[in-house]
Chains A and B, each alone.
Chain A
Amino acid sequence: MTLTRRGFVAASVGTTLMPALPRLARAQAANTIRIGVLNDQSGSYRDISGPYGIQCTHQAVQEFGNKGFNVEVVTADHQNKPDVGANIARQWYDQGVDLIIDVPTSSVGLAVNNVAREKNKPYINTGSATSDLTGAQCTPVTIAWMYDTYMLAKSTGGAMVKAGGDSWYFITADYAFGHALERDTTGFIKAAGGKVLGSVKYPFPATSDFSSFLLQAKSSRAKVIGLANAGADTVNSIKQAAEFGLMKGGVKLAALLMFIPDVHALGLETAQGLVLTESFYWDLNDRTRAVTERLKPRLKDVKPNMASIANYSCTLHYLKAVADMGVAAAKGSGVDVVNRMKAMPTDDDAFGPGKIREDGRKLCPSYLFEVKTPAESKAPWDYYKLLQTTPAEEAFRPLNEGGCNLVKS
C-alpha cells in the first residue's frame, strides 16, 4: 500500500477538475476574459496568497468595471507540486483560460512558465521568487510582477552586510527557490567583502524541526544565519532559533523572504527586531491605506501583503491592456498582450507608478522594514518601521546581467 496523503490529493485533483472544465468550455463566449488564479490553497504558502490572492483578483475585476467585455476568475490549488501545477495550467489554457497569475513556489512557477511559452498564452507570476523567470528561463509571454531572489538578496542581504554581518551560514530549502536565493545572496555578500562559511539544504516541504540545522549554523560561528526559505518554514526556523537562544548569543537572523502574515504568526514578542524586505506595506502611504480599506470587506481581519496584492495590481494592468487592444486580439496571442502590457506604464494604489521591462520584470521600489517591538505597535498588523527604500530602477538585477535572450545587447 503506497498511498500517501499528498499523492492521494494529487490524484483527486484531476477528477475534481473534470466536471468543471467542460462546462467552462461550453460557456466560452468570445467576449469573456478568463483569469486563472493558480496558487497554494492548502500548504505552507497558503496564507501568503491563497484565498487572499483570489480575493485581491476579484477586487481588481470589480474596480475595473465593465469596459465592454466580461471577466471571469477561476481558481485552483497546485499544492506546491510542479506536476500538478503544470497539468492544471495546460488544461486551463486548452480550455479557454486567457491568463494565469499568482503561482507561488518557484519549482511550480518554472513548470507553468514552460506551459505558457508552449501555448503562447500570457502568464504573470506574482508568487515565485526565482530570478530565473526573468533570466535564463525568460519567455516573451511571462511577466514577473513581484519580488525575486536578486531583489531580496540585494535589499535584506546587502543591508545586513553593511551593518557588520560579514560572515554567513545558510539554512536553505532544497528546491529551486532556496537555491536561487542562496546563490543571489552569496553574490552580494562576496561583493561586499563578506564570506559564506557554509550552508545546509533541508528537504522541502517535509521539515518542521529546524533545531538541528540551527545548531550546525551556530557551530560555524557565522555572524548571520541566512534563512533561504519562506512561509511556515521561516516561522518555525525563527521560533526555534529563539528557543535555542541564538539571538541572545549575538547571532543575527536574516529572514530573506518574509511576509506580514509570517510576522503575525510569530507574534511581535519573537519577531521584533527582524529585518525584512517587502514591496508593499498596508500602512506605507495614503494610496496603500486606501486600497487596504477597499479590500477590507473581502479580507476581513487580514491585511494584504506584497504577494496577495500583486494579484490585484497585475490583474488591473492586464485588463487595461485587453481593453486597449480588444478582446479578440488579446485572446489571439500571448506575445502580443504581453508586449502591449510592456508598452503601457503601470499605475495602481498598491505599488504606485511603474513599468515592465523587456525581460518581463515589473519594476517597483523595494522597502527594507524592521519589525516593531510590542511596545511600539499600536494595533494588530501595525508591525513595520521603514528603514530604507531602494528605488525601482535599482531594486532589481540590471537588464543585461540576467542572461535573458529577449534583451538585445
Chain B
Amino acid sequence: MDDIFGIPAPLLFGQLLLGLINGAFYAMLSLGLAVIFGLLNIVNMAHGAQFMMGAFAAWMLLAWGGIGYWWALLLAPIIVGITGVILEKLFISRLYKLDHLYGLLLTFGLALIIEGVFRNEFGSSGLPYRIPPELSGAWDLGFMFMPVYRGWVVVAALILCLTTWLVIEKTRLGAYLRAATENAALVQAFGVNVPRMVTLTYGAGVALAAVGGVLAAPIYSVNPQMGSNLIIVVFAVVVIGGMGSILGSILTGFALGIVEGLTKVFWPEASATVIFVIMAIVLLARPAGLFGRA
C-alpha cells in the first residue's frame, strides 16, 4: 500500500472526499451569509439557527404531515424563508441605518431565542431522520465506502451554489440587487421597489440556510444546537473568502472543508482550530479576505 506522509493513500483520498462533503455545507451556509451581508450589510448571526430550523421543518413535515424528503427539500426552505421575511419586516429592517454591530447583536439574540425554544420543545439529544430510500446504500470506491447520500449532498450543494452565483452575477434581477447595494436611492428612483427586494433577499438567504438544514438532517441528528457549532466556522469561512464575495465564499467553503478533513488525519485535536488559524493568517496578509475588494 502506498503511503503519503506516513498515511495510507486510500485513507488520505477518503479524507479528501469527506472534507469536500463538509466543505459543501460550509459553502452553502457561507453563500447565504455572503448574500445577506453583501446586499443588506447585516451580519446574520441567526444563520445557524435558520439552518437548524430547516432540518426541523423537514422532520416536522415527515413526522406530522407524512411529507417525505423530496417535498421537504422544496417546502422547508419556503417555510423557513417566510419566517425570515417576517423577521426582516419586524426587526431587521429597522437597523439598516445603524452600525453593523446592532444587526449582529439582534440576530445573535434571535438565534439564542430560536434555539432555546426548540430545545424546550424537542430536547437536546436530537430526533431521527432517515435517509430517503432512493439515496440510501453506498458505492464501494475501492479506497473507501462512499454513502450515496453524501455524494448527493456535494452535487446538490454545487448546483445550488452555481445557480445562486449565476442569478446574482448574470441576470437582470441580480443586476438590480447589485445596483441597490451600490446606491439604493438611485435604484429606487428608477422605479425598483428596493425595500421589498431587500426583504426578499433576506428571505432567500435564509432559505439557502434551510436547504442546508434539510440536506444535513439525515446525516447529523436533528437537534437544536446543530447550527451553533457550524455557524462560527462558517463565519470564519466568510471572513477568509472576503465579506460579501459570493464566489469567494463558495470556493473558500469547499477548500476549508478539505483543509479541515486533512487536519483530522494529521492532528485531530486541532481540527476545530485550524480554520481559525487560517483566518488569522489571511487577515494579517489580506485584511479584505482572499476574494474581497479592499
Name A's B-contacting residues (CB within 8 A).
1, 3-5, 8-9, 42-48, 50, 174, 200-203, 205-209, 211-213, 215-216, 219, 231-232, 235-236, 239-240, 243-245, 249, 261-262, 264-267, 269-270, 302
Contacts and interface: CB of A to CB of B under 8 A. Distances in A.
Given A44-B124, A46-B119, A244-B147, A212 B261 contact: yes
B126 A9 contact: no
A245 B268 contact: no
B220 A209 contact: yes
B124 A46 contact: yes
Given A203-B272, A232-B124, A235-B125, A243 B147 contact: yes
Interface string B119-134: 1000111111011000
A215 B8 CA distance: 12
Interface in B76-131: 101, 104, 108, 111-112, 116, 119, 123-128, 130-131
Interface in B180-221: 219-221
A147 B150 CA distance: 37
A264 B125 contact: yes
A244 B124 CA distance: 24
B41 interface: no
Contacts of A302: 123
A174 B232 CA distance: 20
A198 to B, nearest CB: 11
A209 B223 CA distance: 14
Nearest to B270: A203
Given A239-B221, A240-B219, A215 B15 contact: yes
A336 B134 CA distance: 65
B18 interface: yes
Nearest to A42: B119
Nearest to A268: B128
A221 to B, nearest CB: 11
Contacts of A232: 124-126, 221, 223, 225
A241 B207 CA distance: 30
Given A203-B269, A212-B261, A5 B119 contact: no
Contact of A231 (B125, B149, B219): B125
Contacts of B125: 44, 46-48, 231-232, 235, 261-262, 264-265
A203 B123 contact: no
Contact of A50 (B10, B124, B220, B264): B124
B91 to A, nearest CB: 19
A120 to B, nearest CB: 34
B131 A243 contact: yes
Category for how many chain B residues contact A: 35 or more
Contacts of A219: 8, 10-11, 14
Contacts of B251: none
User: Taking chain B's interface residues, is the majority helix, strand, or loop, or is none over half, making it mixed?
Assistant: helix
A206 B231 CA distance: 11
Interface string B134-167: 0000100000110101100000000000000000
Contacts of B21: 211
A43 B124 contact: yes
Interface in B252-294: 261, 264-265, 268-273
Nearest to A48: B125
B268 A200 contact: yes
A78 B174 CA distance: 47
A1 B104 CA distance: 10
Contact of A213 (B8, B144, B268): B268
Contacts of B269: 174, 201-203
Nearest to B218: A243
Given A47-B125, A265-B125, A212 B265 contact: yes
A262 B221 CA distance: 11
A389 B125 CA distance: 27
Contacts of B265: 212, 216
Contacts of B138: 244-245
Nearest to A264: B125
28 contacts: A1-B101, A5-B111, A42-B124, A44-B124, A46-B124, A48-B125, A174-B269, A202-B268, A203-B272, A205-B229, A207-B229, A211-B18, A212-B18, A212-B261, A216-B264, A219-B10, A232-B223, A232-B225, A235-B221, A239-B221, A240-B219, A244-B145, A245-B147, A249-B145, A261-B125, A265-B126, A269-B128, A270-B128
A236 to B, nearest CB: 6
B221 A236 contact: yes
B124 A203 contact: no
Q: List 10 tightest A-B contacts by C-beta distance, closest first.
A: A203-B272, A46-B124, A47-B125, A206-B272, A267-B128, A212-B264, A265-B125, A265-B126, A47-B123, A219-B11
A26 B110 CA distance: 35
Contacts of B144: 215
Contacts of A216: 11, 264-265
Nearest to B224: A42
B226 interface: yes
Contact of A212 (B15, B101, B219): B15
A4 B232 contact: yes
Given A46-B124, A48-B125, A202-B271, 10 more contacts: A5-B112, A42-B124, A50-B124, A205-B229, A213-B268, A215-B14, A215-B18, A232-B221, A249-B145, A269-B128
